[in-house]
Structure 1
Amino acid sequence: MELGIGMFGDLAVDQSTGKYKDAGIKIREIIDQVKLMDEVGIDVFAMGEHHRPDYAVSSPEIVLAAAASVTKNIKLASGVTVLSSSEPVKVYEDFATIDLISDGRAEIFVGRGSFIESFPLYGYSLNDYEELFDEKLELLLKINSEENVSWSGKLRAPMQNQTVYPRAKNEGRIPIWRAVGGTPQSVLSAAKLGMPLVVAIIGGMPIQFKNLIDFYKQEYLKAGHPESEMQIAIHSHTFVSEDQEIIDGYFHNYKSQMDRIGSSRGWAPYTKMQYEGGRSNDGALFIGNANQVADKIAYMKEIFGITRFIGHMDVGAPENDIMRKSIELFGEKVGPQVR
């Protein structure tokens, strides 16, 4: 099973000014942290896309390209590419370029994303939310498998025998995963297409997702795809420290981000009880010491049969030195225990 780390580039608020901290510093820290991930044996890094003041990264492709130049082995993925408001030709070209820079380590996680700021920003209508994604996914998959593309849809100009360059290393193909938040229709679509699946489990109890993942397996095989090629990942909030004081203190980072997002979504303020419940054996937070986190990941393997676990590790913008220690523990202690 592969172990990965995901990030969104969360920006903390500077208490002295009331403004978000410098995005440039954060991006440079991320690139340095990915270099460390590579050194401690992490298999995958996934960089998210957001268009908000509280996140530093709106273009994961640029960050991944920079990370490609300072790493040797780690796979580099978007986490996620908001495909509904992206141009599939450009998505393929960007990731094919990352693939060539990294000598074949690029991946794309496509999804609808959990925020909608990119739609008005790029001039798309939310009325076309579903159709935009379906059309663009169809086109992206076609570009990924064919050098000369002919395609037509309703919301984008057609392509007639047009070529897309550069081509990625592995006969032009980049691994494309479908990232979902728990919608059965999205899971069914991924299964029918034979796409690898990433399920975001960031609240409640992971066991609640078992029926959904079993449904994917059933429909994947029913569609005639080989079981040997089935890949399933989960993506959950993760943080590792051997210092209980740091784990207790991380609650404040986590709460700050949950409350910031929740204020626009009508959520009640995040509580310490929720935090400790999430950290419990049955909860969805992989936050604790190396033994606790390794045990929970192994449990995910047991109940879901996952082939990859991605720990989302920068929620609430922990300080760089604390982040680096968490990455080291994840690679040097959690990884060997899980494997």
Structure 2
Amino acid sequence: MAFEVGILTFGELTTDLATGSMPSPEERMRQTLEQARLADEVGLDVFGVGEHHRSDFIASAPHMVLAAAATVTENIRLTSGVTVLSSEDPVRVFQNFATLDLISGGRAEIIAGRGSYTESFPLFGYDLADYAELYREKLDALLAIRANNPVTWPGSAFTQPLTGLDIAPRPVGELPIWVGVGGTPASAIRAGQLGLPMALALLLGPITQFERPVDFYRQAAADAGHDSAALPISINAHGLVGDTSQGARDDFYPYFARGLRENNHQRGVGFDIPRNAFNAQATPSGGLLVGSPQEIIDKLLAYHELYGVSRAVFQMGFGGLPQKQHLKAIELLGTEVAPVIREETAKQKAVKV
């Protein structure tokens, strides 16, 4: 498959650092759809919306946001990023995304994850003590629903039995299901055993931090009889593309730092990141995708070389980055980064063949 480049948003509601004003949920939704439309226009491959259930986010129902995005786009794939499957009903997840697939003409997909925020568990009556088992059982159920209709599923502690039931609508084709992995070997192994694409979620760390999970993933897939080399891997990371290296860093740092402090992914516990630590993360050996178009191209090629990554999805609005800067970065990503990375990875593939 050709290398895919895309963007991801959680629809954060955060005050503007310059003015102190807070966008209304309606305004943030409008901005989100504007981002999707531009991403499609400049030729990006993927637009994702992450699920959160707090008042500082607008996307508790990503499939609804993606359905709206389907009406203002033509080609871009529409994915969750992620669906917190542990606290969802697999039947409704499938129905919602199958409906999105019909609306979008076959462009829907699911990234199913455990969720790094946990507010949905008490909201829907689940116990965090069952965190791992909930996800395992519901992923198995979701895959069974995708595979056959009528569906027969024995049920388990957290999922109802499905005894030859009709689950509709069905998608245009087979609905892609990715597994969202935060880097734990057990999650990577499970994804490999199931033969599912893996989306690696990176917050901070060295570019090499996923070497062991990816090795475990490929080995588990091969042991289970899957073509491990053919399974797609995505890197989903924070970043910003700017005209210059320094400009991108200067623009991104205050918002990224504020996002980590006030709206962090580690179950709501924020922390401060000094500027020198941020700068280290933006170097070739760090995980952040922040810099000029050429720097981003070089880092994506490095990820491709390390892990065989065939997709990169940028979260560029974390911490409330102003819409004007966000749109400029989307344009640069689509016009100056994506075409080059596709061309370079295609050349590498042709040489290997």
Query: What is the TM-score with the length of structure 1 in the denominator?
Result: 0.95
Separation in structure 1 between the aligned mates of residue 307 and residue 247 of structure 2, nearest angstrom: 32
Separation in structure 1 between the aligned mates of residue 201 and residue 340 of structure 2, nearest angstrom: 23
What's the offset of the Cα at 1:53? Answer: 2.4
Tell me: CA distance 1:17–1:252, structure 2 relative to 1, closer, same or farther (3 Å): closer
Q: Which moved more, 1:313-322 or 1:59-68?
A: 313-322
- SS for the counterpart of 1:12 is coil
Separation in structure 1 between the aligned mates of residue 19 and residue 34 of structure 2, nearest angstrom: 26
2:34 alignment counterpart: 32
- Is residue 92 from structure 1 mapped to residue 99 from structure 2 by the alignment? no
Where in structure 2 are there 5+ consecutive unaligned residues? 343-353
Tell me: CA distance 1:175–1:15, structure 2 relative to 1, closer, same or farther (3 Å): closer
1:197 alignment counterpart: 198
What's the offset of the Cα at 1:210? Answer: 1.1
Counterparts of 1:261-300 in structure 2, within 5 Å, are: 261=263, 268-300=271-303
- Is residue 253 from structure 1 mapped to residue 240 from structure 2 by the alignment? no
In structure 2, give the amino acid aligned to 1:99.
D
Separation in structure 2 between the aligned mates of residue 101 and residue 236 of structure 1, nearest angstrom: 28
What's the offset of the Cα at 1:19? Answer: 7.5
Separation in structure 1 between the aligned mates of residue 230 and residue 247 of structure 2, nearest angstrom: 43
Paired-residue identity, %: 40
2:132 alignment counterpart: 130
- SS for the counterpart of 1:177 is strand
- SS for the counterpart of 1:212 is helix
1:187 alignment counterpart: 188
How many residues are treated as equivalent by the alignment? 337
What's the offset of the Cα at 1:275? Answer: 1.1
What's the offset of the Cα at 1:228? Answer: 5.7
- SS for the counterpart of 1:110 is strand
List structure 1 runs of 4+ shifted beyond 6 angstroms: 15-19
Tell me: CA distance 1:266–1:78, structure 2 relative to 1, closer, same or farther (3 Å): closer
The C-alpha deviation readout for 1:284-331, integer Å capped at 9, x for no partner, is 111111111111111111111111111112111211111110000000
Query: What is the TM-score with the length of structure 2 in the denominator?
Result: 0.91
In structure 1, give the amino acid aligned to 2:109.
E
Separation in structure 1 between the aligned mates of residue 31 and residue 271 of structure 2, nearest angstrom: 32
Separation in structure 2 between the aligned mates of residue 100 and residue 90 of structure 1, nearest angstrom: 15
The C-alpha deviation readout for 1:80-128, integer Å capped at 9, x for no partner, is 0000000111100110011011111100000011100000111111122
1:332 alignment counterpart: 335
Q: Would the aligned equivalents of 2:185 and 2:212 in 1 still touch at CA under 8 Å?
A: no
2:50 alignment counterpart: 48
Q: Would the aligned equivalents of 1:36 and 1:327 in 2 still touch at CA under 8 Å?
A: yes
Q: Would the aligned equivalents of 1:20 and 1:53 in 2 still touch at CA under 8 Å?
A: no
Separation in structure 2 between the aligned mates of residue 53 and residue 178 of structure 1, nearest angstrom: 26
Counterparts of 1:97-136 in structure 2, within 5 Å, are: 97-136=99-138
Q: Would the aligned equivalents of 2:248 and 2:290 in 1 still touch at CA under 8 Å?
A: no
In structure 2, give the amino acid aligned to 1:150.
T
Separation in structure 2 between the aligned mates of residue 227 and residue 116 of structure 1, nearest angstrom: 32
- SS for the counterpart of 1:206 is coil
What's the offset of the Cα at 1:61? Answer: 0.5
Q: Would the aligned equivalents of 1:8 and 1:56 in 2 still touch at CA under 8 Å?
A: yes
1:304 alignment counterpart: 307
Q: Would the aligned equivalents of 1:9 and 1:317 in 2 still touch at CA under 8 Å?
A: no
Where in structure 1 are there 5+ consecutive unaligned residues? none
Separation in structure 1 between the aligned mates of residue 72 and residue 55 of structure 2, nearest angstrom: 27
Q: Would the aligned equivalents of 1:190 and 1:196 in 2 still touch at CA under 8 Å?
A: yes
In structure 2, give the amino acid aligned to 1:297.
L
The C-alpha deviation readout for 1:183-229, integer Å capped at 9, x for no partner, is 11111111011011011122110212112112211111111012463
What's the offset of the Cα at 1:15? Answer: 6.8
